[in-house]
Structure 1
Amino acid sequence: MKYMATYDLMETVRVTNQWLGASAKAMYSYPVFGLTANPLIQMTAAWGEVTERSFARMVAKPDWDIGSVVCDDGRDHLVKVVTEMEKPFGDLLRFEVHNREGKRRRVLLVAPMSGHYATLLRSTVVSLLPDCEVYVTDWHNARDIPVSEGKFDIEDYTLYLTDFMRHLGPDIHVIAICQPAPLALAATAYLAEEDPSAQPATLTLIGGPIDPGAAPTEVTDFGASVTMGQLEQYVIQRVGFKYAGAGRLVYPGLQQLTSFIAMNAETHANAFFNQIMAVAKGEAGDSNRHNKFYDEYLAVMDMTAEFYLSTVERVFKNREIARNEFEVAGKRVDISKITDVAVKTVEGAKDDISAPGQCVAALDLLTGLPDSKKANHLEPDAGHYGIFAGRSWRNNIRPLVLEFLDANSRNAADATGVSDTPGTAASTPSGSTSAASADRKSA
């Protein structure tokens, strides 16, 4: 399938469906149909509106849409997104809060590069902005990166993280969510040997596959059931003529989206049927719950082929991070070299993507780190999304994470006058079954 024509065929199907939706919406919105008693007219126009919006969103990068934030003084402060560091495959962004004294607590959110944009963490950013200076990794869509920029695999991703950490300094607190958790751990270990003074103050790993073999899910089962040759043959394509990255080998976002939807096809079908009915009745707003969710969910990005294939092979199949055998630029990255960076893991009891056990495995690898600098939290009744952006994050996990950052800051003054959740983080030994209960009590 590694042909530009195949990629262009998928784009042609998308554009055709977008056009069909727009045509249906326009045609059945003519005034002449206004007095028609047949409800099929309104239903068809509603179908067209929902279809056009859905297929148009698939190639649009969502905006951060964070206009302002309420701070300690009770006032709204404007927020501006600033590019702190620019690189070919991803930028480091800073959320600048105007007319607010800088916060001592500085947080780097490492966003996943697994098919969606970094804006998937919008609610996470909003929840942290009142109390922190927030930075985030903003990965670029591979279809927009010219072939002349070269390759980008998981080793390059790891080195990008080390560059960002060096730039932000040793007082930064790193929070890696889902896919980048094992690579953030590897980046910290890399710095522990190459540039110890650039290591972050803390590392929080949320729902990441440190050891995919610790607890099976559909994701790990898929990785085990297919060969690398099959993946390269059937899911890798070349970017078509429409984009700047024409000719680049990628794992297309549209193909990833098809897999996402297939996993819960009935749920998505019901959601779209209900939205069509709501539009036909005039009860659907532009920013209702359906549109807010699917505007983000349907906006997908391509990953470079080498990044996707190396992730499957080295993280999931060979479990190089879990076995502490990961290499960057020919040099083994030894996780046991991390000796003074406090590490906390967070898992959701109902996470069906990175099941409980996969992320906490990081603490067993940190043999050089004192138990007093390790902590883990298992959030009951929380799924994958909930542990970083849902109710569980806002009510339970976020306060615990902020306490952990303050308790393990490199500068004691960092925890002074900046946190609405004072106290000491619950730090427990690796693998301790009491860790989750201790964290819940401190919440």
Structure 2
Amino acid sequence: MLYALHELAYHSATPFRIGAQWARDFWSHPFNLASETAVGRTVYASAELFESLTRRYGKPAWRLDAIPVGERTVRTTEQVIWASPWCRLIRFARHIGDLKRAGKPANAPAVLIVAPLSGHYATLLRGTVETFLQDHDVYVTDWVNARQVPMLEGRFDLFDYIDHVRIMLAEIGPRAHVIGVCQPGPPVLAAAALMAMDGDPNRPASMTFMGSPIDARLSPTVTNQLAEARPFAWFRSNTIHTVPLPYPGVGRRVYPGFVQLYSFMSMNEERHRDAHHRYFEHLVQGDGDGVEKHASFYDEYLSVLDLTEEFYLQTIDIVFQQHLLARGLFSHRGRHVELDAITDIGLMTVEGAEDDISGVGQTQAAHGICPNVPDARRVLHVQPEVGHYGVFNGRRFREEIYPRVTAFIADNERLSAVPGRPATAA
């Protein structure tokens, strides 16, 4: 019912949104002599703000056709390497000629960036992907909005997620490097352990976890406390809703992306309110830089996707309430996941000292539960003055965190050298 009401509210606002668009266009038209008056700018700003708050934000584009590498520009080609109804494995193949002109080798370490499946699209990691493209052959998991998947495609749960990670690492080939950003930490760690247990030649050479809830019992945040304060039955009864028409996934039970978005925004309500007030002022003043910065962030932040009921509820139960992986009690399809089987996979953890979603200690807990990773292949890094998103994006990530991660990858690439690894550019 809530999902249907949400859709009704959106469509009911359509006439007002269209009116706001007309008003915005009228009061910003260069032939309107009043467009630069105080009244004109205020009406224009009001209309623009209303339209931006009531529009539907679809899946953003990657916009990574070309990236700066040093003083050069390197073109990339977006390639779908593998796909299921639930995910596309995307590779951003770099142009070999451009790499040569930029002084970069074509045969770069392969990196799989596992994007979070927690309400936002993988494009939230656009800056992360762009940074890693400086020195690596980059692949990224592009998860599909559950409301777009017909019921005939069946279920998708936490165990399917783990299987997807294994399949995608196999598609990339032996000894790639995997990076789990936030939510993927536990399932990626479980996938790596299962591959190690099987002696899988495609097991990763290294794994890096950034702001991940490996052990959510440590330094609990508001998010963790909410997950533990409510009984499991409460989440089943209050957070799961049915996809309505006209979406392809009509009838599917999901955790809606808009519910996750409203939850996150309510945690920082004053910050978001102030941001939109400043946006209004920038519009009135004609501050293009301020307007562009705000729009760039919120166009991404307000774009959300739905999670399947089974995936969301299993994550709440296994990761945030029972903490099965951290306690050494997690099983995958009847097999106990033995983290001590990981002996030749590097392990790096990155945390933000001011992270209010995954508290300090939750990610570095991976070191304690993976006892057989050699000390020479471990790195533990806590970044000062950085919150959750700063762990994988922004200036401090580019200038202080990324150099440490790429050095870690280089060390493990050398220790896990695979003879005859092919060139990795387009």
Could you state the TM-score of these two structures normalised by the residue count of structure 1? Answer: 0.87
Aligned residues, how many? 410
Cα displacement string for residues 104-153 of structure 1 (whole angstroms, at most 9, x for unaligned residues)? 21111010011000001101111111211100000000010001111111
2:201 to 190, 193, 197: 197
Aligned residue runs from structure 1 range 362-381, under 5 A = 362-381=366-385
1:228 to 226, 232, 235: 232
Percent identity of equivalent pairs: 36
Distance 2:40 2:154 in 1: 51
Does the 8 Å CA contact 1:169/1:200 hold for their aligned counterparts? no
Question: Displacement of 1:57 after TM fit?
Answer: 4.4
Identify the residue that residue 7 of structure 1 maps to in structure 2. 3
Identify the residue that residue 43 of structure 1 maps to in structure 2. 42
Aligned residue runs from structure 1 range 78-227, under 5 A = 78-98=75-95, 99=97, 100=99, 102-227=106-231
Amino acid at match of 1:364: G
Question: Displacement of 1:15 after TM fit?
Answer: 3.4
Structure 1 residues 22 and 266: CA distance shift in structure 2, 3 A? farther
Distance 1:414 1:217 in 2: 46
Structure 1 residues 390 and 71: CA distance shift in structure 2, 3 A? closer
Identify the residue that residue 264 of structure 2 maps to in structure 1. 260
Cα displacement string for residues 380-406 of structure 1 (whole angstroms, at most 9, x for unaligned residues)? 111111111122211111111111111
Cα displacement string for residues 32-74 of structure 1 (whole angstroms, at most 9, x for unaligned residues)? 985499955543432222232343343x0000011212346x4
Amino acid at match of 2:5: L
Identify the residue that residue 427 of structure 1 maps to in structure 2. none
Does the 8 Å CA contact 2:20/2:50 hold for their aligned counterparts? no
Identify the residue that residue 21 of structure 1 maps to in structure 2. 17
1:65 to 52, 55, 63: 63
Amino acid at match of 2:364: V
Aligned residue runs from structure 1 range 389-404, under 5 A = 389-404=393-408
After alignment, is 295-304 or 9-18 more displaced? 9-18
| Partner-residue secondary structure (3-state), 2:60 | coil
Does the 8 Å CA contact 1:326/1:332 hold for their aligned counterparts? yes
Identify the residue that residue 439 of structure 1 maps to in structure 2. none
Structure 1 residues 402 and 414: CA distance shift in structure 2, 3 A? farther
Question: Displacement of 1:165 after TM fit?
Answer: 1.1
Aligned residue runs from structure 1 range 297-376, under 5 A = 297-376=301-380
Aligned residue runs from structure 1 range 235-274, under 5 A = 235-274=239-278
Identify the residue that residue 431 of structure 1 maps to in structure 2. none
Does the 8 Å CA contact 1:69/1:79 hold for their aligned counterparts? yes
Question: Displacement of 1:372 after TM fit?
Answer: 2.3
Does the 8 Å CA contact 2:121/2:143 hold for their aligned counterparts? yes
Cα displacement string for residues 203-233 of structure 1 (whole angstroms, at most 9, x for unaligned residues)? 1111100000011101110001111211111
Does the 8 Å CA contact 2:282/2:290 hold for their aligned counterparts? no
**Matching of residue 76 in structure 1 with residue 73 in structure 2:** yes
Cα displacement string for residues 165-220 of structure 1 (whole angstroms, at most 9, x for unaligned residues)? 11112220111110001111000001112343221100111110000001110111
The runs of 5 or more residues in structure 2 that have no matched partner are: 100-104
Distance 2:18 2:266 in 1: 25
Backbone CA RMSD of aligned residues: 2.4
Amino acid at match of 1:21: R
Amino acid at match of 1:235: T
Does the 8 Å CA contact 2:127/2:393 hold for their aligned counterparts? yes
Distance 1:17 1:218 in 2: 33
Distance 2:69 2:419 in 1: 20
| Partner-residue secondary structure (3-state), 2:217 | helix
Does the 8 Å CA contact 2:339/2:370 hold for their aligned counterparts? yes
Question: Displacement of 1:24 after TM fit?
Answer: 2.4
Does the 8 Å CA contact 1:22/1:49 hold for their aligned counterparts? no
Amino acid at match of 2:59: K
| Partner-residue secondary structure (3-state), 1:167 | helix
